[in-house]
Structure 1
Amino acid sequence: MKKLLLSLAFLGFMAVAAHAQSSSDGGKFSIGVEAGLPVGDTHNISNFAIGGSLKYDHPIADHLYLTGSAGYTRFLYKSEVKDFLNKSGEGFIPVKAGIKYFFDDAFFAEGQLGAVFSTESGGGTGFAYAPGVGYSFAGGLEAGVRYEGWSHDGTVSQVALRVAFKF
């Protein structure tokens, strides 16, 4: 069931993105690398998270964009947890949609909601939420900082930095 939901979400995202890409509406894809610092209870088992994501921004009004993103994040376990569980970390696939508002030509704030899928057997699916701020540089580079929380039998959370190239 988890793979079916992920596949449907991915296909829906790609269909919207392909339609938007074929028109001259100014929508943009971005591909980025992400690094996170676990916070809250997550910090007890992990010191660092690393991943990547694909994102699409579709204009819906002046300075306002509808966003869709999918990616992969791996929380790397602390050494004592790694030794106890006999594995280096746990992977997740977050799929989110949201709104991005540009205050001017560069500074923005955004919020996204969605689902996160564990790549571990029996890991399940959780609710994802991510408010953040960022800056779009000339030449297509974009950087943003966000708080991201995933709720499923507790909360996995991080403060993450995303550096991306828009095309």
Structure 2
Amino acid sequence: MRKVFLTMAAVIAIASASFAQTGKNQLGIGAELGIGTSSGAGTVFGGTAKYLHGVGTAGQVTLTAGAMIDSESEGEAKATATLIPILLGYRHNFNGLYVEPQAGYMMSKFKLKVGGEEVMSGSDGAFGYAIGGGYAFANGLDLGVSFRNTTQTGSSGAIVFRVGYNFSLGGSN
């Protein structure tokens, strides 16, 4: 846990120093589809909101938060897992193409209902990270793919596909 706080403190310090720079500021929303990388892993659906703060001419500090849900049913039993990423990152743009490493906190919640009654639930969280890339079109459309994982024991990660739209909040291009 100490490493998580030290990493977050370092990222926040770097991000704070970068706010003095100028760049393109944006707010993005997107739909996501995640596919687990381990055998038998399910598919998760969800969405995220992303703030992109321009630094320099090609960089943006990013803050991403959202939720992804996986729900499975068998007979009277229904299991629901919710994954909540909160990630700070840096996006470097190359004329539309971009690369975006991220780090932060990922929380997971689990609920099991049988016959409509909740019989088990729980939540956990851990340091999380992602490495991704994509293409941001001039009209705001943003297509991306990333690999996300956590330090939780047994976590195998997921490949996440994102279709989003970035609204301009000003700043220089």
TM-score (norm 1): 0.74
For 1:84 and 1:158, locate their aligned partners in 2 and report how far apart those are by CA, in whole Å: 27
SS in 1 for 2:157: strand
Consecutive unaligned residues in structure 1, runs of 5 or more: 1-15
By how many angstroms is 1:156 displaced? 4.2
One-letter amino acid of the structure 2 residue matched with residue 115 of structure 1: Y
SS in 2 for 1:71: strand
2:48 paired with 1:63: no
SS in 2 for 1:97: strand
Aligned with 2:84 (options 93, 104, 120)? 93
2:100 paired with 1:110: yes
Of Structure 1 and Structure 2, the greater strand share is in: 2
Consecutive unaligned residues in structure 2, runs of 5 or more: 1-14, 111-120, 168-173
TM-score (norm 2): 0.72
Aligned equivalent of 2:158: 158
Aligned equivalent of 2:27: 29
Closer, same or farther in 2 for the Cα pair 1:108/1:83, shift >3 Å?
same
For 1:99 and 1:65, locate their aligned partners in 2 and report how far apart those are by CA, in whole Å: 6
For 2:80 and 2:141, locate their aligned partners in 1 and report how far apart those are by CA, in whole Å: 30
For 1:153 and 1:103, locate their aligned partners in 2 and report how far apart those are by CA, in whole Å: 36
Of Structure 1 and Structure 2, the greater helix share is in: 1
Q: How many residues are paired up?
A: 140
Q: Percent identity?
A: 28
Aligned equivalent of 1:142: 142
For 2:54 and 2:138, locate their aligned partners in 1 and report how far apart those are by CA, in whole Å: 18
